[in-house]
Amino acid sequence: MLLDNKKVAIVGGGPAGLTLARLLQQSGVYVNVYERDLDKNARVQGAPLDLHDESGLAALRKANLLEKFKENYMVGADREKIMNPNGNVFFSDHEKNLTEDFGKEHFRPEIDRGVLRRILLDALETETVVWNSHFLSMEKQGAGWLLHFKNADTQYADLVIAADGANSKIRPYVTDIKAIYSGITMLEGNIADAKNNAPNIYEMLNGGKIMAFGNGQNILMGQKGKGEIGYYISFKTDENWHKTIGIDFTDKTQVSNWFQKAYATWNPMWYELFENVLLPFIPRPIYYMPFDQTWSSQSNVTMIGDAAHVMSPFAGEGVNMAMLDALELRECLLSETHSSLKQAIENFENKMRPRAATIAKKSLDNGELMHSENALESMIDFFSEVK
C-alpha cells in the first residue's frame, strides 16, 4: 500500500477532513487531523446539511456510518416553503408523507452540522484529532513537510491534505489560483430556542426550510438542532460590502436598522429575526473557483472540499462534493493500480476538478436565478417539478 509507514496530516476538522480520516483509518493508515477549534465542544457554525445518495451518503456508507446517520438525521427538515416578501406561501410540501427514501435520487435528508461532526468524531481512534491547532505554515523536509501551528507543536507528515475550507492556508502550496467573488453576499444569523425567542417565525418554519424571494433579494432559513434556527439574508452587492457598510455586526439594532432600509418592501413580520438573535452576525461573501482551474500534482500535498473548489451554496452540493472528494481520494490512495503517491494524487485531482467545476457552474447559475427579478416564479416552477 502506498501509505504503508506514512504519516498523513489532514488540516481541517470539517465533514471532509473527518470523513477522510475515518476512511483511511479503516485501512490502517496513520492519520492525524489538525483542527483550530479549541475542542470537540466548540460551536459549529453554518446551516444544516442535506446529504445526497451519490456523494455525501455514499461516503458515509463506505465509512460504515449510514445507520448512525439514520438514527440522527432531522426527519422532515428537508420540507420546503417558498414565499414572497409578505410571507404568502406559493409552494409547500409539508403535507407530503414523511417516509425514508434512502437510495432515491431526490431524497436529501438533513442533519445538523454539529451532530454530523459528533458522529464522525466518535468513529475515529482516540486522539486522532489534535485540537487547538491553528495552522500557520509548512516547509519541505525530505519527502514530506514540517507543519507549524500558532499554539501547538511542529509536526512532520509524509502527506498533507488541505481540508481547511474556503480560506485555506495550504492551498497556496498547491496553486496560486484564487477564488472569484460571485457578486452575492449572505448575512448569517442564528436564533437559539426559537420556539420562545422567535415564535412566529418558528411556527411558520414548522421544522423545515423557508425560501423567500422578492426584488432580487432572498431570505433563506432552516431548522437546526436543539430548537435553533439559522437564516441567511442574501443579496447582490460589492465584494467589500461588509467592510464598508459601517455596521457593527455585534449590534443587533444596527443590523436590524440596515435590514429595514435595505429590505424596505419586505413585511415587518421578518423583523422578529433580529429581536433575540445570537451575536455576532456573520457576513459571508460568496466565492467560486475558476471552472478551468488546473495545477501540477505533487507527491505529498493535495486538497479536498472548499479548499480545492469553493462554490456558492445555491445547489446544496458543497458538503456533498467535499465528502465525495474524501471518498475518491481514499480510493486513489489505497488503490493497487498506482505506482506512486504522485500518480494517485494526480488521478484524484484530474477527476475531482471537472466534477466540481460542473457543480460549481450549476450552483452559480442557481444563485443568479435566485437573485433575479423573476426568482419567485422560477423557484416555484423548479420545486414543483422536482418534488
113 annotated as a binding-site residue: yes
Beta strands in the chain (DSSP E): 7-11, 30-34, 49-50, 80-83, 89-92, 110-111, 129-130, 135-141, 144-149, 155-157, 159-162, 180-191, 209-214, 217-223, 229-236, 278-288, 301-303
CA angle 329, 61, 339 (to 5 degrees): 25
Q: State the pLDDT at residue 97.
A: 66
50 annotated as a binding-site residue: yes
DSSP SS3 for 284: strand
The distance of Cα 349 from the centroid of its chain, to the nearest Å, equals: 20
Contact of 119 with 127, CB cutoff 8 Å? no
Averaged pLDDT, groups of 10, the chain, 387 residues long: 95 98 98 95 85 96 97 91 96 78 80 95 97 97 97 95 97 97 97 98 95 97 93 98 98 98 98 97 97 98 97 90 98 96 98 97 95 93 74
**Tens of pLDDT, residues 26-55:** 999 999 999 999 999 887 888 889 999 999
Domains of the chain, earliest start first:
7-73+112-178+290-366 (3.50.50.60), 181-287 (3.30.9.30)
Contact of 219 with 209, CB cutoff 8 Å? no
Q: How far apart are the first and last CA of the chain?
A: 45
Contact of 162 with 307, CB cutoff 8 Å? yes
Q: State the pLDDT at residue 42.
A: 87
Contact of 344 with 295, CB cutoff 8 Å? no
353 annotated as a binding-site residue: no
Contact of 235 with 220, CB cutoff 8 Å? no
Quickly list DSSP for 290-317.
-TT------SSEEE-THHHH---STTS-
Distance (Å, whole) CA 37 – CA 18: 14
Going 122 to 123 to 125 to 129, the CA torsion angle's sign is negative
Query: Cβ of 167: how many Cβ atoms within 10 Å?
Result: 11
Cell of 107: 431524497
Q: State the pLDDT at residue 81.
A: 96
DSSP SS3 for 328: helix
**Tens of pLDDT, residues 121-172:** 999 999 999 999 999 999 999 999 999 999 889 999 999 999 999 999 999 9
Distance (Å, whole) CA 117 – CA 20: 13
DSSP SS3 for 334: helix
Candidates 320, 317, 324, 318; CA nearest to 348 is 324
pTM for this model (two decimals):
0.95
61 annotated as a binding-site residue: no
Distance (Å, whole) CA 101 – CA 155: 44
In 101-166, which ranges are continuous DSSP H helix? 113-122
DSSP SS3 for 223: strand
Cell of 303: 486538497
